[in-house]
Amino acid sequence: MGVADVRARLADGRADDVPGRVLDLHHVWDYYRTRLLLRRVRDYRRVLDVADEVAWECYGPVLGLAGARPKEPPLVGFSRAAAPRAHRRGSAYHDLLPRGGIHTREGRAAAARLPFPVIDVPWSFGSHLPALLTVAHEAAHHIDDDRGLGDEIRRRVATAGLPPERAVPWERWSGEAFADVCAAVLCGPAYVCVLAELLDAGDDADERDFDGAHPPPGARLRLAGAAARLAGHPGAQDDTDFGDDDGDGDEARVVAGALVRGGWSGLDGVSLTELLAAGRPPGRADVPEGARRLLAGGPSRCSSASGVLAAAALAFQHDPAAYDRLGIGELAVAEVLRLRSAGTRAAPAADPSATDRRRAHAEAGRAVLAALDAGPDAGPDAGPDPGRADFR
pLDDT in tens, 84-107: 999 999 999 888 887 767 888 888
The torsion angles phi and psi of 259, rounded to 5 degrees, stand at -90, -30
In this prediction, residue 168 carries a pLDDT of: 92
Q: Is the pLDDT of residue 177 over 80?
A: yes
Neighbours of 320 (CB within 10 A): 11
CA atoms within 13 A on the CB side of 111: 26
- Name the average pLDDT for the chain: 84
0.75 exceeded by the pTM?
A: yes
The whole-number average pLDDT for the span 249-264 is 93
Measured distance CA(370)–CA(365) in Å, rounded = 8
27-53: pLDDT as tens digits? 888 889 888 999 999 999 999 999 999
In this prediction, residue 75 carries a pLDDT of: 94
Instruction: Give the list of residues 6+ apart from residue 337 with CB closer than 8 angstroms, or none.
Output: 46, 49, 50
Q: Which of 217, 213, 238, 216 is nearest to 227 (CA)?
A: 238
What is the side-by-side order of every strand in the sheet holding 118-122? 75-79, 118-122, 85-87
Q: Is the pLDDT of residue 202 over 60?
A: no
How many Å is the maximal CA-CA distance in the chain? 76
Q: How many residues does the chain have?
A: 392
In this prediction, residue 186 carries a pLDDT of: 96
Element of type H or E holding 169? helix 164-172
265-305: pLDDT as tens digits? 999 999 999 999 865 555 566 899 999 999 999 999 999 99
Q: Is the pLDDT of residue 246 over 60?
A: no
Helices 164-172 and 174-187 pack at an angle, to 10 degrees, of: 70
Q: Would you give the DSSP letter of residue 113?
A: S
325-368: pLDDT as tens digits? 999 999 999 999 999 887 776 644 445 566 776 777 777 667 66
Measured distance CA(63)–CA(52) in Å, rounded = 16
Locate the DSSP E strands across 109-201.
118-122
* Higher local confidence (pLDDT), 30 or 9: 30
Among 181-185, 186-190, 245-249, 262-266, the range scoring the smallest mean pLDDT is 245-249
Measured distance CA(108)–CA(355) in Å, rounded = 33
Neighbours of 381 (CB within 10 A): 11
In this prediction, residue 357 carries a pLDDT of: 66
Q: In the chain, pLDDT over 90 holds for what percent of residues?
A: 57
| Burial class of 348 by CB neighbour count within 10 A (0 to 12, 13 to 18, 19+) | exposed
Q: Is the pLDDT of residue 243 over 70?
A: no
Helices 42-59 and 328-339 pack at an angle, to 10 degrees, of: 60
Q: Is the pLDDT of residue 110 over 50?
A: yes
Element of type H or E holding 228? helix 217-230
Q: Is the pLDDT of residue 377 over 50?
A: no
Domain ranges of the chain: 1-130, 148-276, 286-333
Q: How far is CA 253 from the centre of its chain?
A: 24
The whole-number average pLDDT for the span 70-77 is 90
Q: Which of 73, 69, 65, 71 is nearest to 269 (CA)?
A: 65
Q: What separation in angstroms does the CA of 325 have from each of 43, 124, 262, 309, 334?
A: 19, 19, 44, 17, 17
Q: Which of 213, 212, 260 is nearest to 236 (CA)?
A: 260
Q: Is the pLDDT of residue 6 over 70?
A: no
